[in-house]
Amino acid sequence: MNTVSDRNFGLLIAYLVPGFTALLGVSYFSPTVASWLHGANADGPTIGGFLYVTIASVAAGMICSAVRFHVIDRIHHVTGIRHPSWDFTKLGERIAAYDRLIEIHYSYYKFHSNGLVALLFFYMARQIAVRHGAMGLEDIGTVFLGVLLFVTSRDNLAKYFSRVAKLLGTDDDAAATTDEASQQLATE
C-alpha cells in the first residue's frame, strides 16, 4: 500500500489542499460539487464523491498554481525577490541536495502561495453567495490568514532561491570566475 512520503507530500500540500479550499468556494455555486462534499443523501459522502473531490481538488490546485505563477510570482519578483541565473552545469553531482531544497522550501512555497490564491477565491465566492454587510471575525481572520500565507510564501521563495544559488552557484559567478582567469592570464 502506498503511503505519504517525502516525494508525494510536496504534491499533496502544493495542489490537493489548496485545490480542496478552492473547491469549497465552487460548492457555493455548483450543487454537484456541494453534493460531492456533503453527500447527496442522509448517509453522507460516498466513495464516488470522495474520488470526484480528490480529482477535482488536484485540478483546482493546478489552476490555483497557474494563477500563482502569473500573479503571486510576479508580485514577488517586482517587490525584490529575483530568480537567480543558476549554474546548472553543477547539478549532476548535486541533484540529491537540489531535490531536498525543493522538498523543504519550494513545495512549501507552492503550498503557501497556492493556498493564498485558493483562500482569496473561497472568500470571494462566499461573499458573493452569502453577502453580509459589516466586517466580522471571518473577514478579519481571512485577512490575517492571507497576510500570513503571503509573507510565509515570500520567505519560502527567498530561502529557496538563495540556498539553490549557494548550492549551484550562478551564471554570474561562472562569468566572474572566467573573467578573473582571463585577467590573470593577461597579467602573466
Closest Cα to residue 153, out of 111, 117, 123, 122? 111
Q: What is the pLDDT of residues 79-120, one digit of tens each?
A: 999 999 999 999 999 999 999 999 999 999 999 999 999 999
- Domain tally for the chain? 1
Confidence of residue 182 (pLDDT cuts 50, 70, 90): very low
Q: Tell me whether residue 77 is in a domain.
A: yes
Is pLDDT at 77 greater than 60 in this prediction?
yes
Q: Tell me whether residue 118 is in a domain.
A: yes
Confidence of residue 181 (pLDDT cuts 50, 70, 90): very low
% of the chain exceeding 70 in pLDDT: 84
Q: Tell me whether residue 28 is in a domain.
A: yes
Q: Give the residue numbers spanning the domain of 24.
A: 6-187
Q: Could you give the CA distance from residue 60 to residue 16 in angstroms, rounded to a whole number?
A: 8
pLDDT the model gives residue 185: 45
Is pLDDT at 154 greater than 70 in this prediction?
yes
Q: Tell me whether residue 128 is in a domain.
A: yes
Cβ neighbours around 142 below 10 Å, total: 17
Q: Tell me whether residue 1 is in a domain.
A: no
**Cα dist. 118→84, 127, 175, 187 in Å?**
28, 14, 41, 59
Q: Tell me whether residue 76 is in a domain.
A: yes
Q: Tell me whether residue 160 is in a domain.
A: yes
Closest Cα to residue 96, out of 25, 188, 150, 168? 168
Q: Are 146 and 120 in contact (CB under 8 A)?
A: yes
